[in-house]
Amino acid sequence: DAKTTQPNSMESNEEEPVHLPCNHSTISGTDYIHWYRQLPSQGPEYVIHGLTSNVNNRMASLAIAEDRKSSTLILHRATLRDAAVYYCILRDVGGGGSNYKLTFGKGTLLTVNP
């Protein structure tokens, strides 16, 4: 499985934007970039995903480098509820998308200060 590298922790202030980086230099052409987050005492929750183009949804934006070797998850206005561990994951959809195995790294622990 292609590997991702994330900072162990980051800190932000409430209502400020947060940029969470992820490096994936060995990404393959069939790897989608997924982000999940895990709030304290809960199971992981899907945030966003993308392949080549930048993506936006109600939770966040995903900026993908042109060479796809890195990406950045952007939370536009952090709230206390966004304090969580954020995981950047590569999901290989080669073979018709039947691979539902997610390989989680250590993730980034985001602390949001009031």
Partner 1 sequence: KAGVTQTPRYLIKTRGQQVTLSCSPISGHRSVSWYQQTPGQGLQFLFEYFSETQRNKGNFPGRFSGRQFSNSRSEMNVSTLELGDSALYLCASSRVGTQNYEQYFGPGTRLTVT
How far the first Cα of the chain sits from its last, in Å, is 38
Asked if 83 contacts 110 with a C-beta cutoff of 8 angstroms, the reply is: yes
Residues 79-98 that bind partner 1 (CB under 8 A): 87, 91, 93, 96-98
* 7 near partner 1, judged by CB under 8 A: no
Is residue 19 within a helix (H) or strand (E), and if so which, with residue range?
strand 18-23
Binders of partner 1 in range 42-61 (CB under 8 A) = 42-46, 49
Contacts for 31 with CB less than 8 Å, ≥ 6 apart: 2, 24, 90, 91, 92, 93
Site for partner 1 in 95-114 (CB under 8 A): 96-107
What is the CA 68 to chain-centroid distance, rounded?
Answer: 14
Applying CB under 8 A, the span of 3-11, 20-28, 38-46, 69-77 interacting with partner 1 comes to 38-46
> Of 34, 63, 78, 114, which lies in the binding site for partner 1, with binding defined by CB under 8 A?
34
Residues at the site binding partner 1, with contacts judged by CB under 8 A: 32, 34, 36, 42-46, 49, 87, 91, 93, 96-107
